[in-house]
């Protein structure tokens, strides 16, 4: 039987204080990767029964039996399996356990707005705007969309912290927030900032973009600061509601770029779906790592209720997310190269999700979380690079070159040039490209030596198109219309078969008849 530590108390501990004491104990600090919810409940029962049996000011004996924590190894040099005397320093109030030096006013407002989270929101909004493309991109619309979204996101984050001051004070990861410290910003100042940010953000979206985008921005404030915040201490489904909040920003970017007309475009739906699915592994892994901290704050999170279900949900949504590149390619939104690259990207994501499903530890949950941080920007970048919206027909480019470009055209042309530059760099690293180029060089040399004058003239008139086509990877990296894809496939088949079909370019058929 483990030895006990005497804790002097004037009155029995409350249930909230009991949970705080356990989470601050040396057992939790040394073994955060091995404690599960069943062990937490066992420890809580021990604490509750011990505390309730003591109603005097005499010494109260509180101990954790090692049977309550079968998987917790004993630390080297420790004389007890239970809570050490260090736990007596834990207070039962909601005040922070330590007082840090006051932060600057600028940093306080930045923390109130959750600047890092808002930056991620703006990034996904920009991805939605770029994905919409369009013949013209208005810089004023881009600025209004991004700045307005940032203000709306900051407002939602501020209201969330205002409503959760008491709960944030109980959690270690949120005790340094400005409203908890209460030494730089007051609650009234935070309310004023949240209101100004919300009104100015919504107004900027309404005046600078379109009514639909403004409505989406306002609804996100209400959804995040209202329904999501209300559900966090009441239902495990708060994460599903929060995922909707995260899925709206790229939709806002897309609707702003299309003047509010692209809400039901396939590109827009795919972007929103991608963000919704991505948030499940990301936030469930995060809440699993901090499950005891969430319990201390009184939040109802799935990992606190059912760890097995948490691992299944993570694995399921990782599988859903891996299907996005294939769906995007099948629906003609992106080239087939996106599907191929998506296999490599999603294989690792599925691997870490499966590892967590097999072995539910904080270390494996952390791998999922860290993977999600680079996975999202990688997937969005590949989506944009292989999106067909950036490829215009040569006739369109020729026509616009004769016009006087305004700022809208210049911005779009700059983005288009950047996309194609990256694509060209990708072709140089593609094995398929190199094989096709070598084969084309060898065929060209053979044709030059064996063909007659008519054939030489024919190749002279159309050789540029043939060479350009041959240099492209069979796994298409740029936009092709249906006729281009059919022509490409026909040419590849014709090189290996003696017969041809009617879809072979008519130039070859006509020249054959003339000869």
pLDDT value at 462 more than 70: no
Please tell me which residue, 173 or 10, carries the higher pLDDT value: 173
Helix, strand, coil content of the chain in percent (nearest 5):
70, 0, 30
Please report which confidence band the pLDDT of residue 41 belongs to, taking 50, 70 and 90 as the band edges. low
Please report which confidence band the pLDDT of residue 145 belongs to, taking 50, 70 and 90 as the band edges. very high
Query: What pLDDT shows up at residue 84?
Result: 36
Which segments within 42-177 are labelled E, that is strand? 59-62
Query: What pLDDT shows up at residue 183?
Result: 86
Element (H, E) at 5: strand 5-8
| Long-range contacts, stretch 477-480, CB < 8 angstroms, 24+ apart | 477/335, 477/337, 477/386, 477/423, 477/426, 477/427, 477/430, 478/335, 478/391, 478/420, 478/423, 479/335, 479/388, 479/389, 479/390, 479/391, 480/335
Helix (H, G, I), strand (E, B) or coil at 8: strand
Poorest-confidence range of 272-276, 283-287, 473-477?
473-477
Q: For residues 321-325, give the mean pLDDT.
A: 95
pLDDT value at 381 more than 80: yes
Poorest-confidence range of 128-132, 370-374, 408-412?
408-412
**Position of tokens 């209460």?**
182
**Position of tokens 């939040």?**
299
Query: What pLDDT shows up at residue 495?
Result: 64
- Whole-number mean pLDDT of the chain? 73
Q: For residues 138-159, give the mean pLDDT.
A: 93
Poorest-confidence range of 9-13, 118-122, 306-310, 385-389?
9-13
Could you tell me which residues are beta bridge partners of residue 61? 6
Rounded to a whole number of angstroms, the CA Rg of the chain reads: 31
Please report which confidence band the pLDDT of residue 335 belongs to, taking 50, 70 and 90 as the band edges. confident
Please report which confidence band the pLDDT of residue 97 belongs to, taking 50, 70 and 90 as the band edges. very low
Please tell me which residue, 449 or 315, carries the higher pLDDT value: 315
Within 10 A of 347 (CB to CB), how many other CB atoms are there?
10
Give tens-digit pLDDT for 260-271: 888 999 999 999
Q: For residues 246-268, give the mean pLDDT.
A: 92
Please report which confidence band the pLDDT of residue 182 belongs to, taking 50, 70 and 90 as the band edges. confident
Phi, psi of 191, rounded to the nearest 5 degrees? -65, -40
For 469-507, the three-class secondary structure string (H helix, E strand, C coil) is HHCCCCCCCCCCCHHHHHHHHHHHHHCCCCCCCCCCCHH
Q: For residues 143-155, give the mean pLDDT.
A: 95
- For 341, the token pair is 């690259």
Poorest-confidence range of 44-53, 78-87, 423-432?
78-87
pLDDT value at 326 more than 70: yes
pLDDT value at 55 more than 70: no
For 413-459, the three-class secondary structure string (H helix, E strand, C coil) is HHHHHHHHHHHHHHHHCCHHHHHHHHHHHHHHHHHHHHCCHHHHHHH
Percent of the chain with pLDDT over 70: 57
Please tell me which residue, 82 or 253, carries the higher pLDDT value: 253
Query: What pLDDT shows up at residue 42?
Result: 52
Percent of the chain with pLDDT over 90: 46
Poorest-confidence range of 69-78, 143-152, 316-325?
69-78
Half-sphere exposure of 264 (CA within 13 A, CB side): 0
- For 425, the token pair is 């760099």
């Amino acid at each position: 039987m483990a030895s006990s530590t005497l804790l002097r108390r004037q009155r029995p501990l409350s249930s909230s204080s009991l949970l705080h004491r356990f989470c601050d104990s040396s057992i939790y600090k040394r073994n955060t990767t091995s404690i599960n919810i069943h062990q937490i409940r066992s420890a809580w029962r021990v604490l509750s029964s011990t505390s309730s049996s003591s109603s005097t000011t005499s010494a109260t004996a509180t101990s954790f039996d090692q049977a309550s924590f079968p998987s917790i190894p004993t630390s080297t040099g420790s004389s007890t399996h239970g809570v050490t005397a260090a736990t007596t320093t834990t207070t039962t109030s909601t005040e922070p356990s330590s007082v840090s030096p006051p932060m600057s006013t600028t940093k306080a407002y930045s923390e109130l707005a959750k600047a890092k989270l808002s930056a991620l929101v703006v990034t996904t909004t920009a991805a939605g705007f770029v994905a919409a493309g369009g013949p013209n991109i208005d810089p004023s619309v881009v600025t209004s969309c991004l700045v307005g979204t940032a203000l709306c996101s900051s407002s939602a984050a501020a209201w969330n912290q205002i409503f959760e001051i008491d709960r944030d004070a109980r959690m270690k990861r949120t005790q340094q927030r400005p409203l908890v410290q209460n030494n730089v910003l007051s609650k009234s100042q935070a309310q004023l900032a949240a209101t100004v940010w919300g009104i100015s953000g919504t107004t900027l979206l309404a005046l600078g973009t379109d009514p639909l985008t403004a409505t989406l921005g306002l609804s996100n404030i209400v959804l995040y600061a209202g329904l999501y915040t209300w559900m966090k201490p009441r239902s495990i489904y708060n994460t599903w509601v929060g995922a909707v909040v995260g899925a709206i920003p790229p939709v806002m970017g897309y609707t702003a770029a299309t003047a509010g007309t692209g809400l039901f475009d396939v590109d827009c739906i795919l972007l929103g779906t991608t963000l919704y699915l991505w948030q499940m592994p990301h936030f469930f892994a995060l809440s699993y790592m901090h499950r005891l901290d969430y319990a201390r704050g009184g939040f109802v999170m799935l990992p606190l209720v059912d760890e097995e279900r948490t691992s299944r949900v993570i694995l399921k949504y990782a599988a859903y997310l891996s299907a996005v590149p294939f769906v995007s390619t099948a629906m003609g939104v992106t080239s087939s190269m996106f599907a191929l690259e998506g296999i490599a990207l999603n294989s690792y994501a599925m691997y870490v999700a499966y590892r967590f499903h097999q072995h539910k530890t904080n270390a494996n949950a952390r791998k999922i979380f860290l993977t999600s941080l680079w996975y999202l920007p990688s997937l969005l970048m590949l989506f944009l690079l292989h999106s067909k919206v950036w490829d215009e027909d040569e006739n369109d480019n020729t026509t616009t070159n004769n016009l006087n470009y305004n700022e809208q055209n210049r911005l779009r042309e700059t983005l288009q040039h950047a996309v194609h530059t990256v694509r060209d760099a990708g072709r140089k690293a593609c094995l398929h490209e190199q094989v096709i180029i070598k084969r084309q060089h060898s065929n060209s040399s053979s044709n030059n030596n064996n063909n007659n004058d008519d054939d030489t003239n024919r190749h002279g008139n159309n050789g540029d198109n043939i060479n350009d086509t041959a240099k492209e990877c069979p796994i298409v990296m740029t936009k092709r219309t249906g006729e281009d894809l059919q022509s490409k496939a026909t040419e590849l088949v014709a090189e290996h078969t003696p017969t041809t079909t009617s879809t072979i370019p008519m130039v070859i058929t006509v020249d054959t008849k003339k000869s």
